[in-house]
Amino acid sequence: MDAAAIDRALASCEAALAQRGRIGLGRLGFWMAVAAVKRERALIERYAERIARVDREAFVRATPLVMPAWMGVALGSAGTAAGVALVALAPFLPEALGARDRLPLAEIAYLAGAGALVGTTHSLAHWVVGRLVGIRFTHVFSKLMPPQPGFKTDYASYLRTPARSRAWMHASGALVSKVIPFLVAALAAARGAAPWAVSVLLALGILQLVTDVTLSTRASDWKRFRREMRFAR
């Protein structure tokens, strides 16, 4: 795709955005244009801001739940802090007496803490690594069904970042969230948690690995990682 074809594709997207409603960028050639731009540094400098404007407007129109990026950082940090606190306090929680059975507060805290950490650190890892390599973020967003929170990149800064760094930004969330269940399981086992709780944590970690292999390589973070690594070659 040469510069003239890129111009035509972007002009088609801009014309569609001048109308109301959602648009399909793919059918207008937007992502083919983006791929062509990624292959040449001169094209990145020429088209980065224009691509970013189209991408951002189409994203806002198509996404039902959108907030400023700083709100996502604040909420994610609070959730991560809560998860860390639950895991740290778990061994000090006494078993409270219920009506008939003892309530395993420590095990519940380990499981709740792991859940909070898995749910919040994935997107935060993308944000942290992205900021370290020079990528900016404009929004935090989520689909409604199923809920899938994430940070929206500023595509101009994304394009100007080296492809290998872009790839590791995509991989960072998956790597962090996959480590957490095994780390919490090891801590729980070392501190004498019930075997069933350790087993649940290990099962959560294994389930995430399976979904990464079967789904993420085709439709999510690892697919994007592989795509950007191809541009790095």
- The tokens for 50 are 């224009």
- Residue 18: helix, strand or coil by DSSP? coil
Q: What global pTM score does this model have?
A: 0.87
pLDDT averages per 10-residue partition of the chain, 233 residues: 92 91 87 94 94 94 89 94 95 62 82 94 95 95 74 96 96 92 95 93 93 76 91 84
E strands present in the chain: 65-68, 96-97, 102-103, 137-142, 150-153
**What are φ and ψ of residue 96, in 5° steps?**
-85, 145
Strands 96-97 and 102-103: antiparallel
Q: What does the pLDDT read at residue 216?
A: 66
Q: What does the pLDDT read at residue 99?
A: 44
Q: What does the pLDDT read at residue 147?
A: 65
What's the DSSP call for residue 233? -
Q: Which amino acid is at 24?
A: G
Q: What does the pLDDT read at residue 144?
A: 65
